Structure 1
Amino acid sequence: MSRLVLWNVDLTLVDVSIITREAYADAFRKVTGRPLVKLTQHNGRPDSEIVFETLAINGIVAEDDHLPEFLEALGEAFGARRKRLTKDGRTMAGAADALKAVARLDGTVQSVLTGTIKSNAVHKLTAFGLDRHVDFEVGGYGEEVYPKATLLQVAQGRARQKYGGTFDGGNTVMIGDSARDVQAARIAGASMIAVATGRSLPAELHEAGADVVLPDLSNPSEVVAAVAGLTSPARKAG
């Protein structure tokens, strides 16, 4: 069988918030000519949404060219700091082993569904050696101006185009840390494994509708069992 596992990046697999804040400050100054005073919370939102809100709370009226300019500047600023990622960032507990363990499941394609723009997502995972089991081509990213639920369906379409077969709600699992991730999976009809490593409490993740809530990724067998159980033929038939 085929299964698609889509991972959120920030606070699910890695924490590089220091570098992210610095990159946003650089990009803001480059695009607006002013220093960044306030940066909105990410909380599972895409960079495209964060850019507009960051401009607004800093008193900048958004213009048509602000988003593409800001995202380009953000990629450049983050890329310039990529050698510091391992020093000033960290992998989340169990992330590497969980990715490796899930990759052993037959017919599994792993990618990312993240609010981070693609170039930065690649830098984040590559810096920590987490990229070896991830197909970035079929993922969904923060520069794509879709709601996250729609982006999940876009990723399914990319997986079908590349690998053939069927990737749908019955064999797609998202793994993330925010209530927004859970809501996106629910809307798209995919299964959801939530990890309480971000800013959403376990109760919030349960309430949002996660199928499974784990404290973290430190038990790879637990992650694999959850993925396999949520994509089993019996589950699909149900």
Structure 2
Amino acid sequence: MLWNIDLTLVDVAIVSRDAYAEAFRAVTGRPLVKLVPPMGRPDSEIVFETLAVNGVRAEDDDLPRFLSALAAAFAERKGRLAKEGRAMAGAKDALKAVSRLDGVVQTVLTGTIRSNAVLKLKAFGLDRFVDFGLGGYGEEPYPKATLLQVAQGRAGQRLGTSFTAANTVVIGDSARDAQAARIGGAAMIGVASGRSTAGELRAAGADLVLPDLSDASEVVAAVASLTTPATRKAG
């Protein structure tokens, strides 16, 4: 089970923008004028596009420098997350309810870099339901569909199970999440709580669409309806 984070589980956009602004200044020596909207994209992609729209020609070491600066800037602001951000409606109850399903392991498939992903969920007490070691994160230079397959591979190596579209579910709020699930090989539950409408999520390939996560039993039923028991490798 792979959860998107921003606008699916939490909304910390104000803090994220401030961290980006500080990281941009640290790397370029200039103030940030325009931040590219996330729209389901990974931080690695947002960094390059943000540099470009602000008239900065990217150098070879800009990405690792920017991501390092972003991690530091975000960590400095972690105390603001719960005050200025919010957990999305029903997020904690949905995570808790899904965690009770037999054979389910929850992780994340997110455009956020790993250190920031942990802080975002920890601020709202959501981290205890997630195995961060199996996820896919924004510092990894892959399209989201490939990142999904990377996460499936990590889970397979750890758990000794083959993960396919029959036993992998992505939950996210953007059309990009739905497209990644379709291409990468996973079932998809769209949540119309963020970037994309219910119609856009369906058009992008979501198998099921929920208005939000406020009904935990509805989330559990959706997950159960889209999965079959994993096939454990022999030996």
Q: TM-score range by the shorter chain?
A: over 0.9
User: Match for residue 229 of structure 1?
Assistant: 225
Aligned CA RMSD, in angstroms, stands at: 0.7
TM-score normalised according to structure 1 size: 0.95
CA deviation profile, 1:108-160 (whole Å, cap 9, x unmatched)? 01000000000000000011100111000000000000010010011011111
Which structure 2 residue ranges, 5 or more long, are not aligned?
230-235
- C-alpha distance in 2 between matches for 1:173 and 1:165: 15
- C-alpha distance in 2 between matches for 1:146 and 1:209: 20
Aligned counterparts, 1:110-189, within 5 A: 110-189=106-185
- C-alpha distance in 1 between matches for 2:102 and 2:141: 32
User: Match for residue 18 of structure 1?
Assistant: 14
CA deviation profile, 1:191-215 (whole Å, cap 9, x unmatched)? 0000011121111011111000000
- C-alpha distance in 2 between matches for 1:191 and 1:72: 33
**Structure 1 position 232, deviation (Å):** 2.9
- C-alpha distance in 1 between matches for 2:201 and 2:99: 25
User: Match for residue 84 of structure 2?
Assistant: 88
TM-score normalised according to structure 2 size: 0.96
Q: Aligned letter for 1:6?
A: L
Which secondary structure state, in structure 1, belongs to the residue aligned with residue 2 of structure 2?
strand
Which structure 1 residue ranges, 5 or more long, are not aligned?
234-238
Which secondary structure state, in structure 2, belongs to the residue aligned with residue 72 of structure 1?
helix
User: Match for residue 236 of structure 1?
Assistant: none
Q: Aligned letter for 2:192?
A: A
Q: How many equivalent pairs are there?
A: 229
Which secondary structure state, in structure 2, belongs to the residue aligned with residue 108 of structure 1?
coil
- C-alpha distance in 2 between matches for 1:49 and 1:63: 14
- C-alpha distance in 1 between matches for 2:86 and 2:204: 27
- C-alpha distance in 1 between matches for 2:161 and 2:63: 36
8 A contact 2:24–2:31 mirrored in 1: yes
8 A contact 2:92–2:126 mirrored in 1: yes
- C-alpha distance in 2 between matches for 1:199 and 1:97: 22
User: Match for residue 40 of structure 1?
Assistant: 36
CA deviation profile, 1:10-39 (whole Å, cap 9, x unmatched)? 000000000000000000000000000000
Aligned partner (choices 42, 45, 50) of residue 46 of structure 2: 50
Which secondary structure state, in structure 2, belongs to the residue aligned with residue 74 of structure 1?
helix
User: Match for residue 233 of structure 2?
Assistant: none
